Amino acid sequence: AHDLSKRFVGPTRLFAPKRFVTAVDRVSLTVYPGETLAIVGESGSGKSTLGRLLLRLLAASEGRVYYQGEEITDASGARLNQLRRELQIIFQDPFASLNPRMTVEEIVGEPLWLHQKMNKADRQPRVAELLSTVGLPAAWARRYPHEFSGGQRQRIGIARALASGPKLLLGDEPVSALDVSVQAQVVNLLEDLKQQLGLTMIIVAHGLAVIRHMSDRVAVMYLGQIVEMATVDEIFDAPLHPYTQALIASAPQTQPGLARETPLLQGDLPNPSNPPQGCRFHTRCPYVTEECRQREPITQVLDGGRQVSCHRWQEINRDRSVIQIAPP
């Protein structure tokens, strides 16, 4: 994706001019075949919107989207349908995303009919196969969503996403609505499926815990922009951006040394419809200077491809021990 932006019309008030919320602001990124890229940020950071722009579920206000070298920014008709098959999404809330009046067989079989015009006789064995792929008994095909637990419903959602034979799967907070005890099972399932089916994955998450073990690279978003992008080990062992450092420090079970040295996040996320001037993180950053308030940092690409957008990242990290911590 190149220079992607998405603006929504914000809440309107009578006699007031329309306000625009720039949910995604000039984001460029590449998702490589076979990798799992995590997009992490607080709610309101634009992470879900960015995911939907990449999948062409939303049209960008500005910028371009490419898929396997082909520009798909304005894809429509048959080409867009083809893309819908190959680029699939799993939603956060498995209950809200499943039609309560449809049986599991109808839910999972719907894409087979819609995209492939597969008849009922062919659909039945394929649905049974998809259910077993996600670890559910084929005999459950006649039941309805309310008969299942949250984790089972998420498996049904995954089976439906797999039905059209996707190449890329976007999980929009795929486990955050589930009990902690079930989260690991669904994470493991996604990892197994990725291996078995050779999928590329994008995982959108607000917390770091879930993505640590399932992603290759991490993009950290703040108010519509990517502030840091690096491999998962770089992000956890040596985060460079003050916002990433604060996120890691406030997450449970991360490096004790880092937690001690790093100030936690101060204050709330500013209103996305009126983001701060200069560096957007300056209202919450412990290292803020006058330059940060005035000038937006440019994204620097370092050796190995990691990226950081902060005027002072070198200074900040020179004084810290984190950058030297050897991997365990």
Which positions touch ligand SF4 (CB under 6 A)?
242, 279, 281-282, 285, 287-288, 292, 297, 310-312
Among Mg ion, ligand SF4, none, partner that 312 touches (CB below 5 to 8 angstroms by kind): ligand SF4
In the sheet with 307-308, reading across from the earlier edge strand, the strands are 87-90, 168-172, 200-205, 36-40, 217-222, 225-231, 307-308, 300-301
CA distance 49 to 224: 9
What are 59-62's contacts with CB under 8 Å, separation 24+? 60/4, 60/5, 60/6, 60/24, 61/5, 61/6, 61/7, 62/3, 62/4, 62/5, 62/26
Which of Mg ion, ligand SF4, none does 284 bind, CB closer than 5 to 8 A by kind?
Answer: none
Least distance from ligand SF4 to the Cβ atom of residue 235, Å: 15
Residue 166 binds which of Mg ion, ligand SF4, none (CB < 5-8 A, kind-dependent): none
Q: Which of 147, 176, 167 is nearest to 47 (CA)?
A: 176
Of residues 79 and 295, the one with the C-beta less far from ligand SF4: 295
In whole angstroms, how close is the CB of 279 to ligand SF4 at the nearest point? 3
Question: At closest approach, how far in Å is the CB of 69 from ligand SF4?
Answer: 34
The nearest distance, CB 51 to Mg ion, in angstroms, is 9
3-state secondary structure of 98: coil
Q: How far apart are CA 254 and CA 148, in angstroms?
A: 34
CB of 55 to ligand SF4, least distance (A): 29
Binding-site residue total for Mg ion (CB under 5 A)? 1
Q: Residue 299 in 3-state DSSP?
A: coil
Instruction: Kindly state the tokens that stand for 15.
Output: 């006699």
Q: Which residue has the tokens 């916002």?
A: 243
**From the list ligand SF4, Mg ion, none, which binds 306 (C-beta under 5 to 8 Å, kind-based)?**
none
- Residue 48 contacts which entry, ligand SF4, Mg ion, none (Cβ below 5-8 A, type-dependent): Mg ion
State the binding string over 38-67 for Mg ion (x if CB under 5 A, else -).
----------x-------------------
Q: What does the block give as tokens for 111? A: 């894409």
48/225 with CB nearer ligand SF4:
225
Interaction site with Mg ion (CB under 5 A): 48
